[in-house]
Amino acid sequence: SSDLTQDPAVSVALGQTVRITCQGDSFRRYYASWYQQKPGQAPVLVIYGENKRPSGIPDRFSGSNSGSTASLSISGAQAEDEADYYCHSRDSSGYQNVFGGGTKLTVL
Amino acid sequence: ELQLVQSGAEVKEPGESLKISCKASGYSFTSYWIGWVRQMPGKGLELMGIIYPDDSRTTYSPSFSGQVTVSADRATNTAYLQWNSLKASDTALYYCARHITVTEHWYFDLWGRGTLVTVFS
């Protein structure tokens, strides 16, 4: 089981905006980091800290926290955004790392 | 070049031991934590443990404590994940990743390509 809960699957029409959410008490204190994983590839960090993007990540990716929910938004989803997305944070004790179960994003 | 290079795929029998590696380059190996992440077939990411190579401090996730050993060699900039007795359920893809803890908001910014471990008799 995981301290962080994600919807297993989400779909979005090409060019539309999608929000992928992650529920966990730790988000009342800590920001989530988000990872994109395409089939057969290693995860890639897309959002960390207070809505920060690593170099090379398109600005259509953004992150936010509200209460016990962290969100990853993709504005104007592209076909290449189809992937599994994982949230991550410290757990509610603050001593351990924990990943969410992952959300499979389908771009229609 | 900033990268983590992992050792190649392994096929082992139950009960065998195994040590896989993750060699860092392009940054100060002793200044950052390294984590090991398991991904079982068709499943999500699970953090197994982390190590600070400068002094080999380690923290294990409760599910993996006592099941694996994480270590590091400062001389070769290499982190290791070790099993003493493999089980079929250890069959998975294992990633190493650089763990950033500069602020209270942790994350993993650099990932290896993964090492596939297959255990079957």
* pLDDT score of A2: 58
Contact check, Cβ <8 Å, A45/B107? yes
Distance CA A105, CA A10 (A): 5
* pLDDT score of A1: 46
Closest to B71 measured CA to CA, from B80, B62, B63: B80
Does residue B44 belong to the interface with chain A, where contact is any CB pair within 8 Å?
Answer: yes
Contact check, Cβ <8 Å, B108/A43? yes
Q: Give, as one character, the DSSP assignment of residue A52.
A: B
* pLDDT score of B103: 86
What DSSP element (H or E) covers A37? Answer: strand A33-37
Please tell me which of the candidates A42, A48, A102 has its beta carbon nearest to residue B107.
A48
Does residue B57 belong to the interface with chain A, where contact is any CB pair within 8 Å?
Answer: no
> Residues of B with CB below 8 A from A99's CB?
37, 44-47
Residue of A nearest to B93 (CA): A42
Identify the segments of chain A with pLDDT beneath 70.
1-2
Distance CA B60, CA B47 (A): 8
* pLDDT score of A93: 86
In one-letter notation, the amino acid at residue B119 is V
Q: A4 is written with which tokens? A: 């962080």
3-state secondary structure of B105: coil
Identify the segments of chain B with pLDDT beneath 50.
none
> Residues of B with CB below 8 A from A102's CB?
44-45
Residue-wise pLDDT for B26-59, tens only, equals 999 999 999 999 999 999 999 999 999 999 999 9
Residue-wise pLDDT for A79-92, tens only, equals 999 999 999 999 88
Distance CA A98, CA A96 (A): 6
Does residue B121 belong to the interface with chain A, where contact is any CB pair within 8 Å?
Answer: no
Query: How many helices and strands, by DSSP H and E, does chain B display?
Result: 0, 11
* A32 class by beta-carbon count within 10 Å (0-12 exposed, 13-18 middle, 19+ buried): buried
Q: Are B120 and B13 in contact (CB under 8 A)?
A: yes
